[in-house]
Amino acid sequence: MKRIVLPGATIGVLGSGQLGRMLALEARRMGYRLHTLSPGVDTPTGQVADLEVSAEYDDIDAIRAFARGVDVMTFEFENVSTDAADAAAEIVEVRPSGAALHITQQRAREKAFLADRGYPVTPFAKAQSVDELAVGLGTVGLPAIVKTAAFGYDGKGQHRIDRIEDGERVWGLIGHQEAIIERVVDFTHEISVVAARGIDGQFAHYGAIENVHHNHILDLTVAPARVPAGIASEAVHLAHRVVDDLGYVGVLCVEFFVTADGRVLVNEIAPRPHNSGHFTIDACVTSQFEQQVRAVCGLSLGDTAQIKPAAMVNLLGDLWVNGEPDWAAALAVPDVKLHLYGKDEARVGRKMGHITALADSVDEAAAKALAARDVLC
């Protein structure tokens, strides 16, 4: 039987960004200590953790030393090598497992995992050379999106191809590395399901969440999603299948496209708490971060009931172009909550924080969140 890790113990986190920060705040509220490891110093997670270790993710000796000081280990950043996860697992329980991380951190492996098990996915092909890219484009059809197989998030490593002649140029842009090619989907909605699975297989979810992206970065989330109940139910069902098929322990997010003819297609899996689930901190009985603590520590999962309709908007570094944003003006908007991540430098496109708003409807919540962001500068 897998060991339960009780309050007073120490949770180790590989990664040190805003997801780790929000996880640390929940863990400490619940009586846990939290240690974080990443190459950085004075990181968003490190600022609120009990211990911040600065080391590279491929420094196996440092990973092992870090593992000896914690009672259970998890991730807030999926681009950690499976060698590091395996080294840690020799010493301490790692949740989710390195095997689940291995599949979900690399798009080609993830797509193969989904397709082999009959999940509905967009037509795709894999390419390891410019010649394979050309063949894949012919198979998948145009227009298509070419994505690097590894190290991709927030639209990084993604390029649209409308003409077969553009293949060689895009192959150069992605650095001549393994890629997947996906047919462009004519979708009406992008939705996600943030879900959790416990060590005993218990399943919990936050329903279907609706997402609007700008420049490939999540801009606005509303919950619950403005989609028919059958669509939402199908997305939850697919997310449940994913966590079970992965033997997953912890919180993850499954992202979907909803097509004009009502199909729900799996787009990507994020093996960690997710940007689209940030609204749960203010709007749900149990936030996605408390749920992560519960899951990786082997506790019963918490109630995911949503108190009120909610919306969340991201705050990118673009808002700092003309100086410090006007926080007082934003907080004067009724029913909004401000979350800042403690990052040292505001850069265009960098996630610096978010605002959540609650209301009697998702449209009203979205209007409040957007209004609060609009008055920042």
Tell me the CATH number at 222: 3.30.470.20
In this prediction, residue 342 has a pLDDT band, given cuts at 50, 70 and 90, of: very high
Average pLDDT value for residue range 127-146: 91
287/26 Cα distance (integer angstroms) = 9
Choosing from 151, 183, 215, the residue where a domain stops is 183
271 and 170 together in one domain: no
186/122 Cα distance (integer angstroms) = 10
Using alpha carbons, select from 221, 189, 225, 222 the residue that is nearest to residue 207. 225
296 and 370 together in one domain: yes
166 and 206 together in one domain: no
Choosing from 94, 115, 141, the residue where a domain stops is 94
CATH number, domain containing residue 63: 3.40.50.20
356/336 Cα distance (integer angstroms) = 6
- Domain assignment present for residue 348? The answer is yes
Instruction: Identify the pLDDT of residue 152.
Output: 58
In this prediction, residue 79 has a pLDDT band, given cuts at 50, 70 and 90, of: confident
64 and 149 together in one domain: no
258 and 337 together in one domain: yes
- Split into its structural domains, the chain has a count of 3
Length of the chain measured in residues:
377
- Domain assignment present for residue 117? The answer is no
- Domain hosting 145: range is 123-183
Give the chain's mean pLDDT: 95
Average pLDDT value for residue range 174-191: 93
pLDDT score of 1 more than 80: no
236 and 267 together in one domain: yes
Instruction: Identify the pLDDT of residue 253.
Output: 98
Whole-number CA gyration radius for the chain = 20
179 and 269 together in one domain: no
152 and 295 together in one domain: no
